[in-house]
Amino acid sequence: MTIENVLLVSAALFAIGAYGVVSRRSLVTVIMSLELMFNGVVIAAVGFSRFTPSAALLSSDPLTAEAIRSALTGHVFAIFVTAVAAGEAALAFALVFAMYRATASVEITDASEMKN
């Protein structure tokens, strides 16, 4: 397990999600694939936090508690991305339901006209 392996898994999950976003017709599956892409990005952030040192730890300045904690910036990034993804999922499904009520369809080809 090295940083390269973690990034490989992250890239694979991101690519699978990207394929799902462009190849599925149902909006629900498209949103599922979007969540997969979010997860791929977060895996990379946590992997960097685990394997690569922050700049503050490599510098020759006297060591501070802030510099030590900066090793975990990737974890904080992961938590923020998770929160944004949760809000995005809730809003996306509200939009899908609104579209379903208006057109009785959740297929992405029927979403080309979003008037009224």
What residues between 48 and 67 interact with other proteins by CB under 8 A? Answer: 49-53, 57-58, 62-67
Contact 13, 40 (CB under 8 A): yes
The tokens describing 53, both together, are 């040192």
Of the candidates 88, 85, 105, 114, the residue with the CA atom closest to the CA atom of residue 26: 105
The tokens describing 22, both together, are 């462009």
Question: Which residues in 72-91 contact other proteins (CB under 8 A)?
Answer: 72-76, 78-80, 82-91
CA distance 57 to 76: 17
- Is there binding between residue 103 and other proteins (CB under 8 A)? no
- Is there binding between residue 114 and other proteins (CB under 8 A)? no
Site for other proteins (CB under 8 A): how many residues? 85
Shortest distance, position 113 Cβ to other proteins, whole Å: 17
- Is there binding between residue 3 and other proteins (CB under 8 A)? yes
Shortest distance, position 22 Cβ to other proteins, whole Å: 4
Single-letter code of the amino acid located at 105: S
Q: Which is nearer to other proteins, 27 or 113 (CB)?
A: 27
Contact 108, 30 (CB under 8 A): yes
Concatenated DSSP letters for 45-73?
HHHHHHHS--HHHHSSSPP-HHHHHGGGH
Shortest distance, position 61 Cβ to other proteins, whole Å: 10
Question: Which residues in 11-30 contact other proteins (CB under 8 A)?
Answer: 11-20, 22-26, 28-29
